Structure 1
């Protein structure tokens, strides 16, 4: 088949047509199917040849009679009577009446939701309702849908309704078609000018900001639009919303389970003030501040309409039943465990699903397939019929399911908690890589190898082998309970070889017929295809220990960036390597590619991942002031944290720290002085705004050292002001912080970073100062010579001892001075000889006094010095001689003058 060409890759080019086998077998189960060959021969597989005639309709049914009575009763009511005549079923007519009632009220706080299966006439009812709004004088009507091509039926019935009301084209209204070649000339605008100017305008789902003057907004196929965008479209005006509850048009974002439920709660008075959106439905990373601020009003009137009677098919049509079963359109999830609690994630096991058995059309396999597709429908994915064929026939895709603990006595298939779809990629030939890079194109499949090779211009990456996780579909009742993380963890362990057991593989190894092999002896003209025998198919579920894992180098994932998904994959250890700058037209999200190594990978083997993550971080920091400015600062910071996990080893290199020379290239001394002044509360923050990009780049590239750490809020403020170039008012709205608190936190972080930059500058100055000379050796306590110690030793003597010692020294010095003064005196004039008479008399007197015989006499003893007279005479002689010399000198002087 030509369609299989897009499923082939360089390493996987053998396609097994499992979808064809299941399709042919399903035809045999359809009672109203007649299969013919090119010669119009009825083949044995047909069950239509056994068709039985049905009884003739003997009258109109109850519904037809009710519809006719309703049309007759409204025949004279303008304008609704003319519009109801175009209804095909009683359900559709009642839906038109409900729409017209909401239009006639002309309130700006009403919502009408219309849900139905495929082929029930939803778009036709909306078209007729718009015609009724034109008749009631509504001027500004906006219509939105994933693409304008989806609105063909809606516009057709707008024109039928206008014709029924007497409007004529060119006289009363004009039609404008799109000039976009992608829209195939779809109608995007209708201008009505019969009474006054009225407009029906198509807008993109993300253009909610143009609804300022809207009076009526119609959202067709709302389930195919991301839930945050649908919520932004609801505002102070009348809203009509239609969605398919089953089928591929209704398999996105779980509209009926979330938004409609929130609208129901918002109509309750007790919940009007407390109704808030859950974190899972928060705006996407790329939502602008204005779009985020727009929220559905708290008090709105909700009307719900459901269409049951089919128009495209007859009631109970077997072909519709066959089609729904073949394409899994009616797949619905099972209710939550009621008889027992939810198992712990660590108790659940991951199993490999054999696709040959899953798509064999065996009754048990069909039940399990329907359950798996129900998880796809209920999860956050937009599905197509082609996805089912991709799941069955693509040779590089594999399926895993996470199952609760299975008891030995269980006889039924367990309910899958998580479905994992994995695509093996890589191992592209070097010639194909070089040709693709040189010509700027990439082949189909192998998304991550081609994308990373082009973004980094590294051809060797495509030679590696990896597994891309395509989908992680979790049961809606078990989200945020750890089952998805458990499934990814088990998948990583499987490809790391932790489950593989050679003994178990040998026991499970068994040869089965090749499903792609065609038996030449069979013929559709004579044989009737049947489901293969059970023993001819491999087990539907296979334990991971029984299967040999493929040799891989990495695990990867590609998804639309939202805060919740980013947090999930970051916790799983994945590192971002690519973030698309333009938004997806379908979801309004930016595609993000994340990669991680296996548990068995070494640091040397993952050196390429660190280099890629480092380059991604540098590019992302630069692009934050461009398209990524629309990101919330918290989301952008989370992306940086995920990238830092892959660059951790490189950031620990001390040579990457900021050098004084590099600092001088980016900032002058005046700039550093400005930062210091602001840190000291001497300047306004506007004065340093021009320095924030360089400072923020230094910090987020881990150039300031490991000791500089900012809190999460401070990092968000620095990223928003420095890299995203946002205003402080925008930071206030994002972080829900008053401006004064945000500026206070900003001042603290600037103080930290300014001090660090000053330290870098001081280090440059210290490098220019010569080193001090070495110290001379000094004697140590043990008497040897050594270097002087730098440590302090305790004083050996106390303060009191030192004071006493100082006092003793002062006393000794005083006594010494006194001794010197005494020695300087002339005592020779007091000399007494032993022969002196007075001395003898004094001795006799002392003896008497001692004996006590000299009572009444004086106790004072006087002795005359014998040297006093001689000394006096000598002194006088010396003085007379000197006087004569002086007189002689004077006489000589007088004679000389004469």
Structure 2
């Protein structure tokens, strides 16, 4: 049974009360003429003046509505806050990541006013946010049309045109009778006790908490932090991608400490006995290395694995909390990547989870809609079945929702930070090409690629010179500008954005077959190059090398998401493509030795040696160099005098491949290639001192000479 709710201040207040009783939140879709819709909302909100609300759109419109302004690009600052009203002006742009995130800030009874064109226009609507990701050159947008179809059939969405006097409200009477009460659950209390036990317990037993948004993990951290201070811990430190992310944590901690507080700020609580709970940015935490018995990391999926590892190893007791299905880079991607670090460094780590929401009911309509729109709960399939593998070109925008969810779930698990914006990019980018591997109709592998380059010569020259930058040209632009070759932007490149194979189907060659299918498409369409760019890791480098790609560049800065240096690899398809691949390889090989000590002096030694051994020989040794090596090997020539020749030796054909398999590979990498001092090597445990290190390096050179390496 439905009822009509009047769209007036009193009507909306009654609506909020009814929704709060049911533990529900609702979207009110205000569709139609933009000016009329804004005028209607301005009039309502000026009379209503909700105490806790925000306007996502223009700052002027927020002021006219009497609401705080929230910039779409700064949505992360609102995490940890709670609102009763949220106005999203879709005419000003629709960021999937921001929408999914901010929907989670509404408490039970909350209303999300969504201003948009008529539903049948969404496919063609020139969303202002498209320009940010290079999607503004397409006339149609399948992702937006998919959202429109979902919103249009969702009975929980309240649809309002500016001229309407009321909205039709679905019957929530049964849910209201149940009487939702926000607050702690037994599950949350158990997690609080787990945190306290870990914070008071033995060292090196980190705790990882995962939960969907709205399950109370931040509140649990705050309540547990208060208990730890009461129990005698002197200092508990908190870090997160942003200080705003921890407002809920500090609010609950302050309430729990009550009259025990002597000082309270947004980022610091001090008790009457001098104990403190303090927020530090990840950068400050790692640079200052302050003493603390416990460190809590909230929104952990928003930090790179390198930072998380450094925090893990830097303090005796660490608690990590992350959202499982979220905008900030899904927690499952975080779990998969970080789990490897935990298993290696602290095998006695423990995991707990929160599944029941505390700020809204289990059957909340808004959470259900947002999850469906952005596939937040997409799960990679595990068919576990035998059979023939079918590899085929595939259009994700035309797929059934269940198949799309399977494929996107694979991409989520394969990459550290996959967000709703990636789903939009995949479906809407006209330059995208996808291949799907399936067994018995179930998805077991996906390759998503995008066509880049093919730019006019004058534009390519400007990009190479650093005068111009374009959206959606990651690899072509990087190789033209950083690599120094304008033809990288002129030639056409098919860049593999993501590739994933479900765990039960790995090690069967499916990934290589997907790459082969993409290569064949390049050959057929006369696309010049097949390429990829990814966070440097030895296993991935080996995979792409097996597929026929070679290293042509390594980035000088670590990626924010993974903390890894990007590796770029290519395979030339046409004659011009092959020529460019070889020129890039040769140029990188000649620049490589100089860049190592300046930019990659802490890079994992195996990855460094893998990259180096994949490069073409840059030099050969003359007779003078060979004499110096022989004298060094026999102990007659000093290390510092021989170091230039050792570096030259490293660039000779096949030398690094042999060193990589040697027990002294790490020492050679750190001392010779990365230029570590003897003090640094000794402090890092690489050698007992200069005498020990030199003896081991002399023995390695002697072995290389005895094996008659072609120098």
Q: Same fold (TM over 0.5)?
A: yes
Partner residue, 2:171: 52
1:148-163 matches, within 5 Å, as 148-162=243-257
Q: How far apart, CA to CA, are the structure 1 residues paired with 2:699 and 2:198?
A: 54
Q: How far apart, CA to CA, are the structure 1 residues paired with 2:305 and 2:658?
A: 37
CA deviation after TM superposition for structure 1 residue 237, in Å: 2.9
CA deviation after TM superposition for structure 1 residue 368, in Å: 0.6
Instruction: Give the TM-score, by structure 2 length.
Output: 0.72
Distance of aligned partners of 1:459 and 1:165 in 2 relative to their CA distance in 1, 3 Å threshold:
same
Distance of aligned partners of 1:146 and 1:570 in 2 relative to their CA distance in 1, 3 Å threshold:
farther
Q: How far apart, CA to CA, are the structure 1 residues paired with 2:506 and 2:331?
A: 16
CA deviation after TM superposition for structure 1 residue 153, in Å: 2.6
What SS class does the counterpart of residue 624 from structure 1 fall into?
helix
Partner residue, 1:131: 226
Q: 8 Å contact 2:208–2:321 — kept in the other structure? A: yes
Q: 8 Å contact 1:718–1:746 — kept in the other structure? A: no
Q: 8 Å contact 1:173–1:193 — kept in the other structure? A: yes
What SS class does the counterpart of residue 363 from structure 2 fall into?
coil
- 1:725 and 2:675 are equivalent in the alignment: yes
Q: Over the residues paired in the alignment, what is the CA RMSD in angstroms?
A: 3.9
Distance of aligned partners of 1:206 and 1:327 in 2 relative to their CA distance in 1, 3 Å threshold:
farther
1:472-621 matches, within 5 Å, as 472-497=499-524, 550-598=525-573, 601-602=574-575, 606-621=578-593
Which of the numbers 185, 191, 195 marks the counterpart of 2:273? Answer: 195
CA deviation after TM superposition for structure 1 residue 36, in Å: 2.2
CA deviation after TM superposition for structure 1 residue 467, in Å: 0.6
CA deviation after TM superposition for structure 1 residue 568, in Å: 1.7
CA deviation after TM superposition for structure 1 residue 225, in Å: 4.1
Q: 8 Å contact 1:679–1:754 — kept in the other structure? A: no
Q: 8 Å contact 2:434–2:448 — kept in the other structure? A: yes
* 1:585-635 superposed Cα distances (whole Å, 9 cap, x missing partner): 22211112211112xx45x75222212111111211111122211123322
Q: 8 Å contact 1:120–1:312 — kept in the other structure? A: yes
CA deviation after TM superposition for structure 1 residue 636, in Å: 1.1
Higher Cα Rg: structure 1 or 2?
1
Partner residue, 2:21: none
Which of the numbers 222, 225, 241 marks the counterpart of 2:320? Answer: 241
Partner residue, 2:163: 39
What SS class does the counterpart of residue 496 from structure 1 fall into?
helix
Partner residue, 2:453: 426
What SS class does the counterpart of residue 440 from structure 1 fall into?
coil
Q: 8 Å contact 1:675–1:754 — kept in the other structure? A: no
Distance of aligned partners of 1:97 and 1:491 in 2 relative to their CA distance in 1, 3 Å threshold:
same
Partner residue, 1:528: none
Q: How far apart, CA to CA, are the structure 2 residues paired with 1:577 and 1:253?
A: 31
Q: 8 Å contact 2:411–2:418 — kept in the other structure? A: yes
Q: 8 Å contact 1:467–1:554 — kept in the other structure? A: yes
Q: How far apart, CA to CA, are the structure 1 residues paired with 2:146 and 2:348?
A: 50
Partner residue, 1:746: 698
Partner residue, 1:834: none
Q: How far apart, CA to CA, are the structure 1 residues paired with 2:176 and 2:332?
A: 43
- 1:216 and 2:269 are equivalent in the alignment: no
Partner residue, 1:4: 130
Q: How far apart, CA to CA, are the structure 1 residues paired with 2:704 and 2:195?
A: 62
Q: How far apart, CA to CA, are the structure 2 residues paired with 1:726 and 1:153?
A: 44
Distance of aligned partners of 1:308 and 1:314 in 2 relative to their CA distance in 1, 3 Å threshold:
same
Partner residue, 1:886: none
1:151-550 matches, within 5 Å, as 151-162=246-257, 164-167=258-261, 172-173=262-263, 175=265, 189-190=267-268, 192=270, 194-196=272-274, 198-204=276-282, 213-227=291-305, 229-234=307-312, 237-249=316-328, 251-252=330-331, 254-256=333-335, 277=344, 295-296=345-346, 302=350, 305-337=352-384, 340-341=385-386, 343=387, 348-358=389-399, 365-404=400-439, 406=440, 414-438=441-465, 440-497=467-524, 550=525
Partner residue, 2:651: 700
Q: What stretches of structure 1 of length at least 5 have no aligned partner?
A: 43-47, 65-85, 176-186, 264-275, 278-294, 359-364, 407-413, 498-549, 761-898
Q: How far apart, CA to CA, are the structure 1 residues paired with 2:552 and 2:381?
A: 38
What SS class does the counterpart of residue 583 from structure 1 fall into?
coil
Q: How far apart, CA to CA, are the structure 1 residues paired with 2:594 and 2:681?
A: 20
* 1:792-813 superposed Cα distances (whole Å, 9 cap, x missing partner): xxxxxxxxxxxxxxxxxxxxxx
What SS class does the counterpart of residue 556 from structure 1 fall into?
strand
CA deviation after TM superposition for structure 1 residue 552, in Å: 0.5
Partner residue, 2:40: none
What SS class does the counterpart of residue 539 from structure 2 fall into?
helix
* 1:198-235 superposed Cα distances (whole Å, 9 cap, x missing partner): 35242428966865732011122334445565455335
Partner residue, 1:679: 633
Q: 8 Å contact 1:127–1:158 — kept in the other structure? A: yes
CA deviation after TM superposition for structure 1 residue 21, in Å: 1.2
Q: How far apart, CA to CA, are the structure 2 residues paired with 1:59 and 1:709?
A: 71
CA deviation after TM superposition for structure 1 residue 403, in Å: 1.8
Distance of aligned partners of 1:438 and 1:496 in 2 relative to their CA distance in 1, 3 Å threshold:
closer
Q: 8 Å contact 1:226–1:253 — kept in the other structure? A: no
* 1:799-839 superposed Cα distances (whole Å, 9 cap, x missing partner): xxxxxxxxxxxxxxxxxxxxxxxxxxxxxxxxxxxxxxxxx
Q: How far apart, CA to CA, are the structure 1 residues paired with 2:175 and 2:457?
A: 70
Q: How far apart, CA to CA, are the structure 2 residues paired with 1:427 and 1:91?
A: 56
Partner residue, 1:95: 191
What SS class does the counterpart of residue 587 from structure 1 fall into?
coil
Distance of aligned partners of 1:107 and 1:93 in 2 relative to their CA distance in 1, 3 Å threshold:
same
Q: How far apart, CA to CA, are the structure 1 residues paired with 2:302 and 2:426?
A: 21
Partner residue, 2:20: none
* 1:47-69 superposed Cα distances (whole Å, 9 cap, x missing partner): x84733514855767xx6xxxxx
Partner residue, 1:509: none
Q: How far apart, CA to CA, are the structure 2 residues paired with 1:741 and 1:682?
A: 16
Distance of aligned partners of 1:261 and 1:462 in 2 relative to their CA distance in 1, 3 Å threshold:
closer
Q: What stretches of structure 2 of length at least 5 have no aligned partner?
A: 1-126
Task: Give the total of aligned pairs.
Answer: 581
What SS class does the counterpart of residue 248 from structure 1 fall into?
coil
What SS class does the counterpart of residue 137 from structure 1 fall into?
coil
CA deviation after TM superposition for structure 1 residue 23, in Å: 1.1
Partner residue, 2:142: 18
Q: How far apart, CA to CA, are the structure 2 residues paired with 1:715 and 1:109?
A: 29
Distance of aligned partners of 1:23 and 1:237 in 2 relative to their CA distance in 1, 3 Å threshold:
same
Q: How far apart, CA to CA, are the structure 1 residues paired with 2:609 and 2:334?
A: 30
Q: How far apart, CA to CA, are the structure 2 residues paired with 1:379 and 1:709?
A: 31
Instruction: Give the TM-score, by structure 1 length.
Output: 0.58
CA deviation after TM superposition for structure 1 residue 420, in Å: 1.0
Partner residue, 1:117: 212
Q: How far apart, CA to CA, are the structure 2 residues paired with 1:694 and 1:741?
A: 17
* 1:75-97 superposed Cα distances (whole Å, 9 cap, x missing partner): xxxxxxxxxxx944443344334
Q: How far apart, CA to CA, are the structure 1 residues paired with 2:457 and 2:336?
A: 49
CA deviation after TM superposition for structure 1 residue 484, in Å: 1.7
